[in-house]
């Protein structure tokens, strides 16, 4: 569960880290009033649990309460990453001298949290990794104590930052790591971590994500858990699945198994398609749940295509196929739909889909099913029957 930026910054401040003071606002008038209270100069930010707001024009630096009001009127109601902006964060303005990057994420490869730091903040971590890999430091974090591996300090010293800043980064990172461990976080990202005009560090942005499995240990956040989901994410959660909407997507994805879901997002990108979501149906899927979940995607008219890829271990694939057919009939999506079902009752399922005129990927490799969808979108003829499974 992602904590709101407002709540996340409260948490940082409570643990002695600097973050700009701010007020939430739900209307332009409230935003104007908040800016006035903060002294006029302010930053107006869309408070939604997705990044990339700066680029999308959802973070505005303003000079006066009137400007804050105008910015708020413009930002409220806009949609970004599947979330409608209903709340704004109006913050005191920080005079930015430079922007750094600091995060702690759970790294399954290392089987523990890892701290990532770069003096090239502001841009997304993927861009830093691609463009300035030598300016990116990683260090293991002890999952029980939050202690950062000692080579972090050594490598930090090698970045040729001002001595005083190095000390500040070390202290900030050490405290963030303790916060991470104490709250069972999966992610703590401060980007940018700003060096202000006084040379001090302050968290201009803050993304904290608590492990849902540990929420029971953090009663203070449970009420927020629900409200951080978008309506469609909530709908899928209610059906027993997990959906994460992705900004600027064009292809809907349904699959079972989170690993396969993640892999499919990569596969789609590899054939030049932008996934609109991650959607894991959860295990043991039957007719009703499949119907509900397929409805969530196939009622969307704006996609370029949808791909459904399910493995039938306990699931009965013929029931799944029937649900897909019923939803397709009801919503008549105007774009290609490719379905790959492998496992329990697959032959019966494929027969049903064939008869309904839905493209069946008779393949084992998901890459091939993804390619079929890409071909169908590009208007090339596809025939899953000539494939190899
Ligand atoms: P994100 O794009 O969703 O990650 O939103 P951020 O909170 O990181 O804001 C985007 C950008 O707005 C930052 O990289 C900063 O350059 C800028 N920004 C945010 N807060 C301030 C501030 O207080 N003062 C100034 N000058 N710029 C800010
Ligand atoms: Mn940011």
Is beta strand 42-46 parallel, antiparallel or unpaired with respect to 59-62? antiparallel
Ligand 1 pocket list (CB less than 6 A): 20, 43, 45, 51-54, 59, 61, 93-94, 96, 99, 122, 191-192, 204-205
Distance 5 CA to ligand 2 centre (A): 10
The overall average pLDDT reported for the chain is 93
Percent of the chain with pLDDT over 70: 97
Which candidate, 268, 353, 349, 356, places its Cα nearest to that of 306?
268
CA atoms within 13 Å, Cβ hemisphere of 350: 18
The rounded Å distance from CA 49 to ligand 1 centre is 15
Rounded average pLDDT over 125-150:
94
pLDDT tens digit sequence for 238-294: 999 999 988 889 999 999 999 999 999 999 999 999 999 999 999 889 999 999 999
Contact call for residues 348 and 318 (beta carbons, < 8 A): yes
Q: How confident is the model at residue 383 (pLDDT cuts 50, 70, 90)?
A: low
Q: For the CA atoms of 105, 108, 111, 114, what is the dihedral angle to 10 degrees? A: -20
pLDDT at 380: 75
Tens of pLDDT, residue by residue over 7-64, are: 999 999 999 999 999 999 999 999 999 999 999 999 999 999 888 999 999 999 999 9
Statement: residue 124 has pLDDT above 70: yes
Residue positions counted in the chain: 389
State the virtual CA torsion across 112, 116, 122, 127 in degrees, nearest 10. Answer: -90
Residues 99-122 have pLDDT tens digits of: 999 999 999 898 999 999 999 998
- What pLDDT does 386 receive? 42
Q: How far is the C-alpha of 141 from the C-alpha of 126, rounded, in Å?
A: 21
Question: What pLDDT does residue 381 have?
Answer: 60
Pairing of strands 242-245, 201-203: unpaired
User: Which active-site residues does the annotation give?
Assistant: 101, 189
By most ligand atoms within 8 Å of CB, the mutation choice from 42, 205, 206, 247 for ligand 1 is 205
With 80 as the cut, is the pLDDT of residue 225 above it? no
Distance 190 CA to ligand 2 centre (A): 7
Does pLDDT of 338 surpass 90?
Answer: yes
- Given the CA of residue 92, which atom of ligand 1 is nearest to it? 23
Which ligand does the CA of 53 lie closest to? 1
Q: How many CB atoms lie within 10 A of CB 96?
A: 16
Let me know: does 360 contact 340? Beta carbons within 8 Å: yes
Distance CA 241, CA 302 (A): 22
Confidence band of 67 (pLDDT split at 50, 70, 90): very high
Q: What is the whole-number distance in angstroms between the Cα of residue 131 and the centre of ligand 2?
A: 18
For residue 247, which ligand has an atom nearest its CA?
1
**Pocket probe mutation, ligand 1, options 21, 204, 207, max atoms within 8 Å of Cβ:** 204
Question: How confident is the model over 81-94, as a mean pLDDT?
Answer: 94
Sheet holding 22-25, edge to edge: 22-25, 88-92, 42-46, 59-62
* Proximal ligand: closest to the CA of 91: 1
Q: Within 13 Å and on the Cβ side, how many CA atoms surround 314?
A: 8
Which residue of 9, 63, 118, 192 sits with most ligand 1 atoms within 8 Å of its CB, as the best mutation to test the pocket? 192
- Bridge partners of residue 201, in order along the sequence: 195
C-alpha 282/C-alpha 69 separation (Å) is 44
- Residue 338 Cα to ligand 1 midpoint, Å, equals 40
Average pLDDT over every residue of 67-87: 95
* Assessment of whether the complete model's pTM goes beyond 0.85: no
pLDDT of residue 247: 81
Atom of ligand 1 nearest to the CA of 124: 4
Residue 193 and residue 208: Cα distance in Å, rounded? Answer: 14
> For position 231, what pLDDT does the model report?
86
pLDDT in tens, 162-204: 999 999 999 999 999 999 999 999 999 999 999 999 999 999 9
What percentage of the chain carries pLDDT values higher than 90? 82
Q: How many CB atoms lie within 10 A of CB 329?
A: 10
Task: Give the tens place of pLDDT for each residue, 286-298.
Answer: 999 999 999 999 9
Indicate which atom in ligand 1 lies nearest the CA of residue 45: 7
How many angstroms separate the CA atoms of 207 and 10, rounded? 12
Closest ligand to the CA of 89: 1
User: How many angstroms is it from 307 CA to the middle of ligand 1?
Assistant: 36
Reference 137, options 108, 160, 112; nearest CA is 160
> In this predicted structure, what is the pLDDT of residue 356?
96
Q: Which domains does the chain have, with CATH numbers?
A: 21-92 (3.30.1490.20), 96-220 (3.30.470.20), 229-388 (3.40.50.261)
* Rounded Cα gap, residues 269 and 291, in angstroms: 27
Nearest CA to ligand 1 atom 8: 205
Q: What is the pLDDT of residue 382?
A: 53
Confidence band (pLDDT; 50, 70, 90) for 299?
very high
What pLDDT is stored for residue 160 in this prediction?
A: 87
The ligand 1 atom at the shortest distance from the C-alpha of residue 94 is 23
For Cα atoms 228, 32, 227, give the angle at the middle one, nearest 5 degrees: 10
SS (H, E, C) the chain: CECCHHHHHHHHHHCCCCCCCEEEECCHHHHHHHHHHCCCCEEEEECCCCCCCCCCCCEEEECCHHHHHHHHHHHCCCEECCEECCCEEEEECCCEEEEEEEEEEEECCCCEEEEEEECCCCCCHHHHHHHCHHHCEEEEECCCCCCECCHHHHHHHCCCCCHHHHHHHHHHHHHHHHHHHHCCEEEEEEEEEEEECCCCEEECCCEEEECHHHHHHCHHHHHHHHHCCCHHHHHHHHHCCEEEECCCCCEEEEECCHHHHHHHHHHHHHCCCCECEEEECCCCCCHHHHHHHHHHHHCCCCCCEEEEEEEECCCCHHHHHHHHHHHHHHHCCCCCEEEEEEECCHHHHHHHHHHCCCEECCCCCHHHHHHHHHHHHCCCCCCHHHCCC
Q: Are 50 and 247 in contact (CB under 8 A)?
A: yes
């Amino acid at each position: 569960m992602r904590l709101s930026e407002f709540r996340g910054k409260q948490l940082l401040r409570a643990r002695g880290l600097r973050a700009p003071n701010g007020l939430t606002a739900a209307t332009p008038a409230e935003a104007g009033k908040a800016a006035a209270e903060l002294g006029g100069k302010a930053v107006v930010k869309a408070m939604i649990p997705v990044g990339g707001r700066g680029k999308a024009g959802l973070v505005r630096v303003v000079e006066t309460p009137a400007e804050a009001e105008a910015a708020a009127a413009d930002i409220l109601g806009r949609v970004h990453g599947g979330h409608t902006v209903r709340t704004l964060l109006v913050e005191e303005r920080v005079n930015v001298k430079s922007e750094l990057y600091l995060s702690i994420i759970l790294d399954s490869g290392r089987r523990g949290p890892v701290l990532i730091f770069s003096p090239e903040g502001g841009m997304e971590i993927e861009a830093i990794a691609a463009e300035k890999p030598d300016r990116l430091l990683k260090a293991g974090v002890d999952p029980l104590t939050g202690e950062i591996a000692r080579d972090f300090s050594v490598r930090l010293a090698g970045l040729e930052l001002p001595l005083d800043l190095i000390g500040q980064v070390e202290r900030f990172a050490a405290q963030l790591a303790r916060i991470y461990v104490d709250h069972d976080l999966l992610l703590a990202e401060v980007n940018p971590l700003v060096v202000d005009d006084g040379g001090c560090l302050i968290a201009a942005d803050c993304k904290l994500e608590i492990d849902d499995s540990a929420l029971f240990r953090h009663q203070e956040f449970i009420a927020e858990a629900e409200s951080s989901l978008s309506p469609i994410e909530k709908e899928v959660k209610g059906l027993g699945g997990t959906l994460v909407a992705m900004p600027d997507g064009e292809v809907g994805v349904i699959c079972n198994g989170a690993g396969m879901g993640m892999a499919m997002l990569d596969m789609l990108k590899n054939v030049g398609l932008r996934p609109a979501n991650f959607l894991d149906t959860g295990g043991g899927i039957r007719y009703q749940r499949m119907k509900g979940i397929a409805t969530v995607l196939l009622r969307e008219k704006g996609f370029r295509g949808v791909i459904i890829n399910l493995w039938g271990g306990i699931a009965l694939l013929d029931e799944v196929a029937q649900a897909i057919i019923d939803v397709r009939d009801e919503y008549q999506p105007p774009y290609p739909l490719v379905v790959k079902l492998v496992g329990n009752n697959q032959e019966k399922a494929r027969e049903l889909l064939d008869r309904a005129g839905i493209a069946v990927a008779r393949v084992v490799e998901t890459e091939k099913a993804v390619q079929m969808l890409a071909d169908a979108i590009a208007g090339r003829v596809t025939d899953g029957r000539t494939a190899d499974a």
